[in-house]
Structure 1
Amino acid sequence: MIIKNNEFSRQFETTVDGQLLTVEYSFQEKKIFLSRVNIPEQFEGSETMSDFLKQILLVAEEKKWKVVPIHPKVAAFFRKNPVYRELLPPGIKI
């Protein structure tokens, strides 16, 4: 899966089966706030959604950003995948 960081729209993007998937973000003090998930219904809760979030978190890890999961789907991903909790800033509990 190839993702694009669309800095102008402040969202990560990928296309799967001709469908656009996006995760909107804001950025402040080396923290990325994942605030909105726009995923077509057929990908809800799927491996595709999980893979997309993993790719976004890989970018955050490479850039040494901390991740604040604002959107409930992102928070749920962190709960199901505790290996990524090291990306949470101090004081954020999921």
Structure 2
Amino acid sequence: METIEVKDNEFLRQFESLVEEELITLEYSKQERKIFLSKIQISDEKRENGTLEKFLTAVFDHIEEASRIRVVPTSKEVVKFFRANKSKYSDLLPIGMNI
């Protein structure tokens, strides 16, 4: 599986990755010790060929390594990914939150 490099663009408040000349982004907002993952920008082609899953894996891994912040998925794609990978990332959810 090809690894995707993710950059945290704090100025634009989004995670970014350049994959085959396409910029994929996931917007976020931070409040207290939570990060709300909201809007994803990705082409349908990349969405369908597995790039979305690889990108979200890289984002979650980045969050897990970089900080002790809790993740609140707010877009349907992020919720779907989280449910599929719950065992790996369940400790990133705020206490008492179920998805």
Length-normalised TM-score, structure 1: 0.92
2:74 aligns with 70
- Correspondent of 1:34 among 34, 37, 43: 37
Q: Match for 1:66: what amino acid? A: R
Q: Does 1:89 align with 2:79?
A: no
Equivalenced residue count is: 94
Spell out the pairing of 1:50-61 with structure 2 (5 A cutoff).
50-61=53-64
CA distance in 2, matches of 1:75, 1:45: 17
How well do the aligned residues superpose, as a CA RMSD in angstroms? 1.2
Q: 1:45 to 1:29 in 2, by over 3 A?
A: farther
Report which stretch shifted further, 37-46 or 70-79.
37-46
1:48 aligns with 51
Moved beyond 4 Å, runs of 4+: none
Length-normalised TM-score, structure 2: 0.88
Q: Which runs of 5+ in 1 are unaligned?
A: none
Q: Which runs of 5+ in 2 are unaligned?
A: none
